[in-house]
Amino acid sequence: MSAPVEEIRLNLPHIELAAHLYGPEDGRPVIALHGWLDNAASFARLAPKLTGMRVVALDFAGHGHSAHRAAGAGYQLWDYALDVLHVAEQLGWPRFSLLGHSMGAIVSVLLAGAMPQRIERLALIDGLIPYLGEAADAPRKLGEALQAQLDLPNKRKPVYEKVEQAVVARMKGVGAVSRDAAELLAQRGLMPVPGGYTWRTDARLTLPSPLRFTRAHSQAFLAAVQCPVDLVLAENGLLKGELPLLQMLEALPFNVTRLAGGHHLHLDDEAGAASVADCFNRRFASA
């Protein structure tokens, strides 16, 4: 946890993003993408254990120390993909690898499928494709999303009197995490407000998606990925029992490794981070 890390700011044409920078300057270029409502601290245990890699762990827009999107803008998966491309352009990386956890893994797959010429390799942790939807449900889902946007001004983020209360809440949140992991995420994710602390995340991040991919959409993106893919599945992760996803994997040339742990196995403890790092280090070294 004491490994050197540099805090950087990336001034993109449309938004300013924050990031943690790890590894040697001449290392393999890697952009790390965290999960929904997490932040760059998601890679605080894992990134220092990756050898020979120059890792830029982003705070996605609306998360951590990154700016929130402008009024009227949204947080769709393809918006994040464009942000990643702008980051690569600013770093001068014509080709790079992606390390993604959960939502970050989903964004990684979409970007690799859409622009395969830019992506060298994918290293994914307990994430692969978005939640699926049926075409027949699309009008109702869009209506719910539009109504949620209209109701947003009346929505208030929770305020915790003490940081400890926020840590406990994060431990029980979506993709439950260990206390150590929750503390790391909270250190970067909280800000002081009257009455205590609240999360820095943009309230719009909790709005329902206006559109979901069908199974055919997801299969098309997976089939379009041309680079090597290494996927770590947590035995007790969020993808456990996801039959449609597991069926898709059977037909794909991806390297799949199942490891003990929960959805945040790369952050929950040092042992989990070491196991994930060993898996990715072996694959990257053989590339």
As a whole number of angstroms, the distance between CA 67 and CA 86 comes to 15
| CA-wise closest residue to 233 among 261, 253, 267, 274 | 261
- Please state, for a pLDDT cut of 90, what percent of the chain lies above it: 88
Identify the residue whose tokens are 């979506």: 174
pLDDT band for position 173 (cuts 50, 70, 90): confident
Calculate mean pLDDT across residues 50-62: 97
Residue 160, pLDDT > 60, answer yes
Domains of the chain from N-terminus onward: 6-132+213-285 (3.40.50.1820)
DSSP code at position 65: T
In what helix (H) or strand (E) does residue 106 lie, and over which residues does it extend?
helix 103-114
pLDDT (0 to 100) of residue 3: 66
Lowest-pLDDT range of 6-20, 38-52, 86-100, 173-187: 173-187
What's the mean per-residue pLDDT of the chain?
A: 94
The model's pTM: 0.96
**Does pLDDT of 224 surpass 70?**
yes
Strand ranges (E), the chain: 6-11, 16-22, 28-33, 53-58, 96-101, 119-125, 190-193, 196-199, 229-236, 255-262
Query: Who has greater pLDDT, 245 or 84?
Result: 84
pLDDT at 2 over 60: no
Query: Mean of the pLDDT values across residues 266-274?
Result: 97
> Which residues are CB-contacts of 203 (< 8 A; sequence separation ≥ 6)?
152, 155, 157
Under the banding of pLDDT at 50, 70 and 90, the label for residue 174 is confident
**Residue 218 has what pLDDT?**
93
Check: CB of residue 95 under 8 Å from CB of residue 225.
no
Active-site amino acid positions: 102
User: Is pLDDT of 1 > 60?
Assistant: no
Q: Which residues pair with 124 in a beta bridge?
A: 100, 231
For residue 283, what pLDDT is reported? Answer: 87
